[in-house]
Amino acid sequence: MQGTRSLFVPGPTNVPEDVRKAIDVPMEDHRAPDLPAFTLPLFADLKKIFKTDTGRVFLFPASGTGGWEAAITNTLRPGDKVLASRFGQFSHLWIDLCQRHSLNVEIVDVDWGEGVPLDIYAERLKADKDHKIKAVLVTQNETATGVQSDVSGVRTALDDAGHPAMLYVDGVSSIASVDFRMDEWGVDLAVSGSQKGFMLPAGLAIMCASEKALEASKSAGLARCYFDFQDMIQTNDSGYFPYTPPMTLIRGLRCSVDRLLDEGLENVFARHHYLAEGVRKAADAWSLRLCAKEPKWYSDTVSAICLPDGYDSGELLARAYHRYGISLGAGLSKVAGRVFRIGHLGDMNEVMLLSALAGTEMALRDLGVPIVAGSGVAAAQEYYRGAANGYSDLL
Ligand code: PLP
C-alpha cells in the first residue's frame, strides 16, 4: 500500500526519528575504554525514570518476559509462596512463569475488566501471620484488558498488615508512560521492556531492584545464570556487561531517556492521560463500552474496547489492517474475538490518534457495527480542541 502503515498496538510502539537514528550507528567495541563514560550516566538517568535513589537498574538483553524471569529467579527459592491476582492474559502469563519456576502461587482470580483487588490482598496479608508469602505481584497495567491498578494501595495493604513480603510490579506497559514511584511505593522489583513507553524496538528488559531485593538475591535458591543480578552488578559497576550487550538498543535508550526527561515525566504522564481520554470519548460516542469496568481501572496506555455481540474483533483487525493500513491490538485469550485494543502510548499525539480512530471507525462501519460515521473522531477532536493551550488546560 502507499503511505505508511500505522501502528496502534500497545507495543511495540512507534520509534521516534531521533531514536531510530541513535540506533543506526556502526557496531562498536563493548569493551572500549570509554564505554563507562556512556553507560554509567545512563544507569543514573534510568533511576530517574523509576523514581528511585536507592534502587539499582538492570538492562538485560530480553523482552519483558525475561525481566519477569530475572525478577523471580534472583530473589526467591523453590516452593516460596507468592500472592498474585489474575485478570488478563499478562497477569495470567506471569503466574504461569512463577509456577513453572516451582513457586507456590496463591492466585486471586478477578473478573477481566477489573484490576488488583486491594481488599482481598489486604485480607490475605493480614491472615498470613507466619509470613509465608514472600512476594506480592502486581501487574500495574494489564495490557490485555486496558486495566490500570493501584500499586501504592498494595504498599498500604502490606504496611497495614506489617507484612515483610517483597512487592513486584510488572510495569511493562506502564513505566515511562504513567506514574511509577519505586521508592515512594516501596517497590522491590519493577520490570519493564524497551518496546512500549521507552519507544524502542523490543530487546531490552529494563528493570529496577530495591536494596532489599538485592540482599535477597545473595541467597535466593532458584537456578539462574544468564539473568544473574550478581554477575550484572560486578560488571555494571565499572560500566560494562557480563556478556555482549545490544549496544545499538542501548544507544537508542540513551536517546529515549533524554526525550522522556526533556519532556518531563509529569508531562509525559499528563499527555498519556489526555490522549487516552480522547479515545475514551470516541468509544463513548460509538456507544461501545470499555473492557475496564469502572473509571478507576481505566488505563492511560491502552484502551480495550468491546464489540457488540455478533461481531468478531479478528475481522475488524483484518479489515483495519488490509483496507486502511492500521494495526490495532487483538483481544487475547478469554476476550479473543470480543475486544479490540487501541494503544495510545509512547511517541504519540492527537492527530496520530485521530487517524487510528478514523480508521477504526471505517472498519467498524464496514463490519456493520451500528455507529454514526465520524462520531468517534468528532468526540475526540472536540475533546482535544478543548485544550486550547496544551493538555494541561484539561487536566
Ligand atoms: N507484561 C505486560 C503487562 C505486557 O503488556 C507484556 C507484553 O505485551 C508482557 C508482560 C510481556 O512482555 P514481552 O512481550 O516484552 O516479553
- Give the global pTM: 0.97
Q: Assess whether 144 and 229 both reside in one domain.
A: yes
Q: 69 CB less than 6 Å from ligand 1? A: no
State the average pLDDT over residues 93-107: 98
Q: Assess whether 92 and 232 both reside in one domain.
A: yes
Cα-flanking dihedrals φ and ψ of residue 264, to 5°? 95, 125
359 falls within a domain = yes
1 falls within a domain = no
Q: Assess whether 209 and 88 both reside in one domain.
A: yes
CATH of the domain at 97: 3.40.640.10
Q: Assess whether 258 and 269 both reside in one domain.
A: no
Q: Assess whether 298 and 196 both reside in one domain.
A: no
Each residue's pLDDT tens digit, 180-214: 999 999 999 999 999 999 999 999 999 999 999 99
**Contact predicate 195/347, CB 8 Å:** no
> Cell numbers of 301, please?
496506555
Q: Assess whether 99 and 158 both reside in one domain.
A: yes
pLDDT at 391 over 90: no
Tell me how far CA of residue 362 lies from CA of 215, 216, 265, 310, 359, in angstroms.
54, 53, 35, 18, 5
Q: Assess whether 22 and 158 both reside in one domain.
A: yes
216, 232, 262 - which closes a domain: 262
6 falls within a domain = no
Whole-angstrom Cα distance, residue 12 to residue 196?
6
CATH of the domain at 292: 3.90.1150.10
Mutate-to-test residue for ligand 1 from 59, 72, 138, 143, highest number of ligand atoms within 8 A of CB: 143
10 falls within a domain = no
Residue 271 known to bind ligand:
no
Strand ranges inside 13-165, DSSP E: 56-61, 81-86, 104-109, 133-139, 141-142, 147-148
219, 237, 262 - which closes a domain: 262
Q: Assess whether 290 and 369 both reside in one domain.
A: yes
Atom of ligand 1 nearest to the CA of 65: 16
Q: Assess whether 198 and 294 both reside in one domain.
A: no
What's the confidence (pLDDT) of residue 169? 98
Each residue's pLDDT tens digit, 30-73: 999 999 999 999 999 999 999 999 999 999 999 999 999 999 99
Q: 74 CB less than 6 Å from ligand 1? A: no
pLDDT confidence bin for 4, thresholds 50/70/90: confident
365 falls within a domain = yes
What's the confidence (pLDDT) of residue 1? 79
What's the confidence (pLDDT) of residue 140? 98
Each residue's pLDDT tens digit, 319-350: 999 999 999 999 999 999 999 999 999 999 99
Q: Assess whether 226 and 306 both reside in one domain.
A: no
Ligand 1 centroid–CA 140 distance in Å is 11
pLDDT at 392 over 80: no
Ligand 1 centroid–CA 46 distance in Å is 20
Q: Assess whether 243 and 290 both reside in one domain.
A: no
Atom of ligand 1 nearest to the CA of 142: 3
Each residue's pLDDT tens digit, 340-380: 999 999 999 999 999 999 999 999 999 999 999 999 999 99
Higher pLDDT, 19 or 392: 19
Atom of ligand 1 nearest to the CA of 144: 5
Atom of ligand 1 nearest to the CA of 11: 8
Owning domain of residue 363: 265-394
4 falls within a domain = no
What's the confidence (pLDDT) of residue 17? 98
Ligand 1 centroid–CA 65 distance in Å is 6
Provide the residue type at 298 as one letter. Answer: Y
Q: 139 CB less than 6 Å from ligand 1? A: yes
Each residue's pLDDT tens digit, 101-136: 999 999 999 999 999 999 999 999 999 999 999 999
Count of structural domains, the chain: 2
Classify residue 205 as exposed, middle or buried by CB count within 10 Å of its CB (0-12, 13-18, 19+). Answer: buried
Whole-angstrom Cα distance, residue 173 to residue 284?
24
Q: 330 CB less than 6 Å from ligand 1? A: no
Nearest one of 27, 10, 24 to 252, comparing CA atoms: 24
Ligand 1 centroid–CA 172 distance in Å is 6
Whole-angstrom Cα distance, residue 143 to residue 146?
5
Cis? peptide before 12, omega within 30° of 0 = yes
12 falls within a domain = no
Whole-angstrom Cα distance, residue 192 to residue 184?
18
Q: How many helices (H) and strands (E) in the chain?
A: 13, 13
191 falls within a domain = yes
Q: Assess whether 61 and 164 both reside in one domain.
A: yes
Ligand 1 centroid–CA 192 distance in Å is 8
Whole-angstrom Cα distance, residue 20 to residue 244?
21
**Contact predicate 354/377, CB 8 Å:** yes
Cα-flanking dihedrals φ and ψ of residue 192, to 5°? -135, 180
230, 262, 294 - which closes a domain: 262
pLDDT exceeding 70 applies to what percent of the chain?
Answer: 100
The set of residues, in sequence order, having a beta carbon less than 8 Å from that of 41 and lying 6+ positions away, is none
